[in-house]
């Protein structure tokens, strides 16, 4: 062959390759990242289908009555989840009643009133509550909170409101009240962190306008700032609710674990998460196991719906930014 090879030796790759995205390695890079990212939706699908398949025997066997019957008898093979569903809702509701004023107070104080030098440290300390492991909350609850409730909180509560059905019966310690209070402490940091971000996202002009009209500082906050961020604040509360519904260890250790529906917060109750934690490894029959899977499925679906709702509300306020995700 006489012709000289035409291609230049080791020519640098033309730059426009990178810009047009035709570079092979670029495509590979994008492919790898996409594959990793798609694992999340796949995981969600796997989770749901796995739970649904495992729960199917119980769903077919009990139908919808699983949701409102309250007999839970592994020996007879009869399962109804009503007490756990009730307990989950009741303990979460109790937690919200305590935690929402507390968390909103914290976030309002930190964004509107606290001196500048105090804001970061206090916010950090409150968020540190989220770092405490659930099982440590449980330990603290058993040995500190329950004795405190028994000696300091319950007697005066009883004296004042003992005639209502909410405070009837003997208080042994492990109860709806103990579970609700520990849940409240656990969800405060989540609600506080997200609502703080929401309040920070409220434009300064809102406050200035209200103050300019002669409002006091509190009136400015309550009439101009809080309503502006309302959707986000509700989102924060719902996010807290999602946490409370699915919380397992601390509640399992404190709520008393009794299949029972009662109005009294002084009595033991049960939650869906606690039932799985307690009974999953002792489930001897297939139907028993399947019933627990159905409990898991219900719990999962409820938390997914609650979380999705919260996210949509928060996104509405702070579109596109990952508000509060740092705290989660």
Cβ-Cβ contacts under 8 Å for 312 (sequence gap 6 or more): 235
Q: Does 151 bind other proteins (CB under 8 A)?
A: no
Q: Does 199 bind other proteins (CB under 8 A)?
A: no
Q: Does 279 bind other proteins (CB under 8 A)?
A: no
Q: Does 56 bind other proteins (CB under 8 A)?
A: no
Angle, helix 286-317 to helix 82-108, in steps of 10 degrees: 30
Residue closer to other proteins, measured from CB, 166 or 280: 280
CA angle 68, 74, 80 (to 5 degrees): 5
* In the complex, minimum distance from the CB of residue 263 to other proteins, in angstroms, rounded to a whole number: 26
Q: Is 315 helix (H, G, I), strand (E, B) or coil?
A: helix
Using CB under 8 A as the binding criterion, the count of chain residues that bind other proteins stands at 97
Kindly identify the residues of this chain, within the stretch 214-243, that bind other proteins according to CB under 8 A. Answer: 216-219, 222, 239, 242-243
Rounded to whole angstroms, the Cα distance separating 180 from 186 reads 10
Q: Does 26 bind other proteins (CB under 8 A)?
A: yes
Task: Among 102, 153, 201, 261, indicate the residue that binds other proteins (CB under 8 A).
Answer: 102
The region of 71-79, 120-128, 163-171, 199-207 touching other proteins under the rule CB under 8 A is 120-128
What is the biggest distance separating any 2 CA atoms in the chain, rounded to whole angstroms?
109
* b/e code 7-22 from CB counts within 10 Å (16+ = b): eeeeeeeeeeeeeeee
Residue closer to other proteins, measured from CB, 5 or 21: 21
Kindly identify the residues of this chain, within the stretch 77-96, that bind other proteins according to CB under 8 A. Answer: none
Kindly identify the residues of this chain, within the stretch 128-147, that bind other proteins according to CB under 8 A. Answer: 128-129, 131-140, 142-144
Residue closer to other proteins, measured from CB, 52 or 263: 52
Rounded to whole angstroms, the Cα distance separating 172 from 150 reads 8
Residue with tokens 């107070």, as numbered in its chain: 105
Task: Among 195, 248, 267, 290, indicate the residue that binds other proteins (CB under 8 A).
Answer: 248
Torsions phi, psi for 256 (to 5 deg): 100, -20
Q: Does 160 bind other proteins (CB under 8 A)?
A: no
């Amino acid at each position: 062959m006489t012709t000289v090879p035409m291609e230049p030796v080791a020519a640098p790759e033309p730059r426009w390759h990178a810009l047009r995205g035709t570079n092979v390695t670029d495509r590979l890079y994008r492919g790898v990242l996409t594959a990793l990212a798609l694992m999340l939706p796949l995981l969600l699908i796997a989770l749901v289908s796995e739970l649904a398949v495992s729960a199917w025997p119980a769903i077919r066997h009990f139908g919808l009555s699983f949701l409102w019957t309250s007999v839970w008898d592994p020996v007879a093979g009869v399962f109804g989840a009503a007490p756990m569903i009730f307990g989950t809702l009741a303990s979460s509701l109790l937690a919200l009643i305590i935690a929402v004023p507390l968390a909103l107070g914290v976030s309002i104080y930190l964004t509107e009133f606290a001196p500048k030098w105090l804001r970061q440290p206090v916010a950090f300390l409150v968020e540190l509550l989220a770092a405490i492991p659930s099982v440590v909350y449980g330990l603290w609850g058993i040995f500190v909170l329950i004795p405190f409730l028994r000696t300091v909180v319950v007697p005066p509560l009883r004296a004042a409101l003992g005639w209502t059905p909410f405070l009837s019966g003997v208080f042994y310690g492990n109860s709806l009240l103990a579970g609700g209070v520990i849940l409240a402490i656990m969800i405060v940091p989540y609600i506080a962190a997200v609502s703080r971000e929401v309040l920070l996202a409220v434009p300064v002009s809102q406050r200035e306008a209200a103050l300019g009209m002669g409002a006091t500082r509190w009136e400015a906050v309550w009439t101009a700032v809080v309503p502006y961020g309302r959707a986000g604040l509700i989102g924060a509360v719902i996010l807290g609710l999602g946490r409370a519904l699915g919380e397992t260890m601390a509640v399992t250790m404190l709520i008393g674990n009794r299949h029972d529906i009662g109005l009294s917060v002084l009595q033991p109750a049960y939650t869906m998460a606690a039932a799985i934690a307690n009974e999953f490894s002792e489930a001897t029959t297939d139907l028993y196991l399947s019933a627990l899977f159905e409990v898991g499925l219900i719990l999962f679906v409820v938390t997914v719906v609650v979380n999705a709702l919260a996210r949509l509300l928060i996104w509405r306020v702070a579109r596109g930014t990952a508000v509060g995700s740092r705290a989660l």
